[in-house]
Structure 1
């Protein structure tokens, strides 16, 4: 017969694994712990009473009760089960024997015997086994001793995230102390065993008991390349405050010496920032292959500071600081493993202050650069640049008013400098319906220049220049729809013609210097733009109409766009006389065709392409084609071709092929690769190959990489990345996850 007795006492159980743990995703094929191991989340309550159920209950002494047969003790979100339990109401002590189990929503502990004081929440569990829900971890301990809510001690404890039938790795510690108030665990006399073979020993290790950050050494990174030689980094993380931390990383490179890297992050109620710096004293690499190191015996260093701020009750004021410095032109090439980063030509130095109002936006900027190129002049500095822009839409008679203004003081040591003031008021009348739109617009571009440093500059005769130009445009479009049946599905096909007329009269602008202006990249976006230049130093003359046609195929049930195709071209009614160079004049009556297509072939496969076609010479000036695969099993495959023709004016012609992917062979094994080649230069930019193995509790990755940092350099860099991850503990070796995410689009 089962009896119910209500006990007014407290009962809790707490345990944490004796290792520094990292959250990780358990693969879908891995077994999960039995749901009966843990209580449901909604079982947690603030109840202080304890409910006890048992087959039999006997009062053997004054205040002492013995429960036998399916003993079930519950309090709030905790539960104790045993074959036999003795409770002393006077002292609050419970002694349980036989198949003892303690569990809550996150942990389940099994043992042969338990002694607990319900009043003081103190006690010991003997010969215990445990399993956690969050980390899918398990382990054993000869003694689990609870000291109130403050701390827990364990003797001869183990920890692993592996299943019992595949225990690849296990940590074993002599003593473990869990400080719950501080949120820190400490383990002593720790041995890491792989396949029951001891591979690592440390007399002491500390670890967090939650997701809170904690000071300490992070997993080291070890590798080798012919840029650095043997390369090992040992980062130390310092949790200074809840909203402030730092990472100090000594990096030893056998060919170059010892580099010290530091990173400091902070977060306040109004800003967030990052300071990053590194110093290498006396670079000891004399020669890399056939190339002499020009920075031999020189100090190498960098400094970077970024900050974003927002101020005011509605955060209308925003600030941005971006300052970067390197000690020499080769720094990024020598210490970066990324081609795009090492190919950086200028480092930004910028301070922005912006205000965003309901109608008006204000901006102030100070900007300079560090030039990393020897044969290119420094860009102009903006000291300062001020902008004020406004927009007042939907006014009387449907009119919208706009206003743009800018003042910039350009500074340069060797070239003509000066101040530029621009005003552009405009008025437009947007109108339309669901299937039609038309927007006529009229604007006036007014520019004023005051030039300095004109000595020796024969091209610029006047120190003051005025330029006024009207801009007239008409943008219009239609949207037609029709239902369509295909492969048993209902579709909507759209036909969307668009016409954009632009008129700007010609003004000779050869006497205006080019401070920050360049020609826009020709594409679908620039065809419908009011400016064919990126800055106001040139206002392109125009008498033209852009015609475009877009068609979409949309699944009527899901709303998903299956296919989008766009074709566009500009028809010119007069020659374009304004250009960046005085001797260049465009006389064609039409532009190249721009065609774009994006197709979702299946749920996994997608195709995207673009081509810029010259109908006069029947040649392609630019094209790109990308085929992408994203599988439900995590597989990724990309193949792309990019081409830009050398037309005599284009300084950066390219033709590149790029194939990359991460393809699973089965639930555990995957192959990784990338082949990135410049067909124009007949040079492989990056070749990467590797394999990955993932089980339920550990993973490993081996990657070989052959790459270049400078396309004009003769030498190549080779590196091997070997990494092993003990899931729930950490990663060891040369980390390659960030590299693969940059090299293989879609890789996670």
Structure 2
């Protein structure tokens, strides 16, 4: 039969209340309840013992052992045999426990500890509590893996752990299972649940161009809304790379990132570098700001160090800064755009707008009439490299009539006057002429409902005919370089037909789901008089399709087919198919075609992506691009990923005509994994 003794320890102990959240902590002035099969001693004795299935409880702390003793004179307590100490911050188990209430120190032999909030496990010949937040493990192991046995662990002669701080190990050996992998004389990493600064796991790789690659990163927390990553990369054939990534969030809408990278070349390679700043947000005064400023020193930087095809094939680097402010129905925007040509074969620099200012007074309705008035004003400064090409001021007042001559039919008529004042190094003057446009359209709709009434199919047909006329006038030297304000003469009729199929399903609770299954638009036109924008009589036929056959199958296409006499051909095609299933399998195939222009530039290739889980822990992904004209692959990329309970590894293989690369990336649960902004 168990005996029970309950009493208050009203002792003057030098232990702060902060100790309450740490392992092996007993709070002052709190009642302690001690239970055991046999109790020896009394409250007035210097020492008493609890023997047989002994349990000590104080608020959130519980201590189990075969026997527990307390020495009142030394302010010490101990436990022997199957010792288990449990409290909010974690659990300790071992053979022999000694606690000193005066110093707050404790020692547990042949011990194991689990820090629950940090997800951290310790084991060793002994675990010592040095103070409220610091522990020392002798001849032990530590891991953040919760599997039994752990998939990975660190063994060390001594490990000093600061709860909410760092674990520091000496003479450390890293193990996968029980297999030693490598030795480090000194090592530390954060033992925290929040984002914490520290080294990230290195990435290793091999490239035909760059040689053996080692990627080292250091993650630095700068605040709740800012962080940064320092990069140090070694390329045995290319040099040493140094970089910085900086990320920030200010308020609810302002966010951005900065990237800087420099490679010191070796073996005759020149230094290359690049920088980028991207930002999106709202400035004081409700001014919207968006930036994408980029600088690349040399095209070889993109060819050697860019990863995506859209980057390493680039010849142009485009930067812009965009500011806008809206007042009711008035918009003012300022945009600076600079384009740098990295191609060594191009003599002429691309044109840049530094800056372009646009004021738009949106359509204003005149009383209750169907008449609307609007005004567009745009000023542009054009620059080619460091040379100023000219300035232009564009004005277009316009009036629009929105009519409904017959129920269900809309008719829009618009008349405007285009005026341009220009100045170039060789000319200055003005030009102006009128433009007219009209649009007539309607929507026909029919709905088919199932016999049960819970499913329906709606078919919409939207035919429209439009007309655009821009009168002939003298063109300024560079007006054709501003496509959205084209002053080229035009006289054309355009026909379009849009079809939509929409399904709607309802469940027993009345919840409905509407899905657009088909969107198909066909458009073409006829040039009433030949002009430089449409020299052919019949304009190309454009077909735009989006087809959602089912939840797992989507098709899309956007194609232009030339109808001019004697030269029927495709001008451009962008088509694709995507398949997905609930098992997370994914397959997509896309086809891109663009007819060659006067400079001989065009495109004709296929791209595909396959992503599929092989098992619950393993997945495979493959991407490729294939040149239809060249009958060769332009790029391969394959990823094999394993995600275990506590660790993972990603093998990546990339191949393109001028390079071949193999990368290995390890991840360990809880180890140097950062939740970046």
TM range (shorter): 0.7 to 0.9
- Counterpart among 540, 554, 575 of residue 607 in structure 1: 554
The 3-state SS of whatever aligns with 1:210 is: coil
**Is this contact kept in 1: 2:125–2:137, CA < 8 A?**
yes
**Is this contact kept in 1: 2:189–2:672, CA < 8 A?**
no
**Is this contact kept in 1: 2:412–2:440, CA < 8 A?**
yes
- Alpha carbons of structure 1 residues 718 and 383: separation in structure 2 relative to 1, 3 Å: closer
- Counterpart among 52, 56, 59 of residue 33 in structure 2: 52
Other-structure match for 2:395: 422
Other-structure match for 2:354: 383
- Alpha carbons of structure 1 residues 164 and 389: separation in structure 2 relative to 1, 3 Å: closer
- Alpha carbons of structure 1 residues 614 and 442: separation in structure 2 relative to 1, 3 Å: same
Residues 353-382 of structure 1 deviation map (CA, whole Å, 9 limit, x = unaligned):
322445443322222221223326323222
* CA apart distance, 1:402: 7.3
Other-structure match for 2:209: 227
The 3-state SS of whatever aligns with 1:332 is: helix
Other-structure match for 2:613: 664
Q: Does 1:588 align with 2:538?
A: yes
**Is this contact kept in 1: 2:227–2:248, CA < 8 A?**
yes
Other-structure match for 2:271: 299
Other-structure match for 2:14: none
The 3-state SS of whatever aligns with 2:185 is: strand
**Is this contact kept in 2: 1:6–1:49, CA < 8 A?**
no
Other-structure match for 1:685: 634
State which drifts further: 56-65 or 368-377. Answer: 56-65
For 1:239-258, list aligned pairs within 5 A.
239=221, 244-258=226-240
* CA apart distance, 1:171: 0.6
- Alpha carbons of structure 1 residues 396 and 104: separation in structure 2 relative to 1, 3 Å: farther
**Is this contact kept in 1: 2:306–2:312, CA < 8 A?**
yes
**Is this contact kept in 1: 2:38–2:52, CA < 8 A?**
no
- Separation in 2 of the partners of 1:5 and 1:596? 76
Structure 2 unmatched runs, 5+? 11-16
Q: Does 1:325 align with 2:267?
A: no
**Is this contact kept in 1: 2:66–2:83, CA < 8 A?**
yes
For 1:518-597, list aligned pairs within 5 A.
534-537=484-487, 541-557=491-507, 559-560=512-513, 564-570=517-523, 572=525, 575=528, 577-580=530-533, 584-588=534-538, 591-597=541-547
- Alpha carbons of structure 1 residues 349 and 615: separation in structure 2 relative to 1, 3 Å: closer
* CA apart distance, 1:168: 4.2
**Is this contact kept in 2: 1:320–1:352, CA < 8 A?**
yes
- Give the CA RMSD over aligned residues: 4.2
Q: Does 1:496 align with 2:482?
A: no
- Separation in 2 of the partners of 1:395 and 1:2? 95
Other-structure match for 1:740: none
* CA apart distance, 1:89: 7.3
- Counterpart among 436, 444, 450 of residue 421 in structure 2: 450
* CA apart distance, 1:330: 2.5
- Separation in 2 of the partners of 1:204 and 1:438? 79
Other-structure match for 1:263: 245
- Counterpart among 584, 589, 598 of residue 548 in structure 2: 598
Other-structure match for 1:29: none
**Is this contact kept in 2: 1:492–1:556, CA < 8 A?**
no
The 3-state SS of whatever aligns with 2:447 is: strand
Q: Does 1:337 align with 2:307?
A: yes
Q: Does 1:722 align with 2:629?
A: no
The 3-state SS of whatever aligns with 2:346 is: coil
* CA apart distance, 1:192: 0.7
Other-structure match for 1:628: 579
More strand by share: 2
- Counterpart among 276, 282, 302 of residue 310 in structure 1: 282
- Counterpart among 347, 353, 367 of residue 317 in structure 2: 347
* CA apart distance, 1:318: 2.9
- Alpha carbons of structure 1 residues 158 and 391: separation in structure 2 relative to 1, 3 Å: farther
* CA apart distance, 1:517: 5.4
**Is this contact kept in 2: 1:506–1:578, CA < 8 A?**
no
**Is this contact kept in 2: 1:382–1:409, CA < 8 A?**
yes
- Alpha carbons of structure 1 residues 344 and 611: separation in structure 2 relative to 1, 3 Å: closer
* CA apart distance, 1:186: 2.4
Q: Choose 1 or 2 for highest CA Rg.
A: 2
Other-structure match for 2:656: 707
**Is this contact kept in 2: 1:572–1:590, CA < 8 A?**
yes
The 3-state SS of whatever aligns with 1:330 is: helix
- Separation in 2 of the partners of 1:674 and 1:4? 71
**Is this contact kept in 2: 1:60–1:66, CA < 8 A?**
no
The 3-state SS of whatever aligns with 1:341 is: helix
- Counterpart among 77, 99, 103 of residue 82 in structure 2: 99
* CA apart distance, 1:727: 3.4
- Separation in 2 of the partners of 1:673 and 1:725? 21
Tell me the TM-score normalised to structure 1 length: 0.74
For 1:59-208, list aligned pairs within 5 A.
60-62=42-44, 66-67=49-50, 71=54, 73=56, 77-87=60-70, 93-104=76-87, 107-116=90-99, 122-131=105-114, 138-160=121-143, 167-180=150-163, 183-208=165-190
- Separation in 2 of the partners of 1:149 and 1:428? 79
Structure 1 unmatched runs, 5+? 17-45, 285-295, 456-460, 519-532, 709-715, 732-748
- Separation in 2 of the partners of 1:311 and 1:89? 67
The 3-state SS of whatever aligns with 1:127 is: strand
The structure with higher relative contact order (CA 8 Å, sep 6+) is 1
- Alpha carbons of structure 1 residues 339 and 466: separation in structure 2 relative to 1, 3 Å: same
**Is this contact kept in 1: 2:125–2:140, CA < 8 A?**
yes
- Alpha carbons of structure 1 residues 665 and 415: separation in structure 2 relative to 1, 3 Å: same
Other-structure match for 1:483: 449
- Separation in 2 of the partners of 1:158 and 1:73? 28
* CA apart distance, 1:202: 1.9
- Alpha carbons of structure 1 residues 15 and 402: separation in structure 2 relative to 1, 3 Å: farther
- Separation in 1 of the partners of 2:36 and 2:369? 83
* CA apart distance, 1:627: 2.7
Tell me the TM-score normalised to structure 2 length: 0.81
The 3-state SS of whatever aligns with 1:505 is: strand
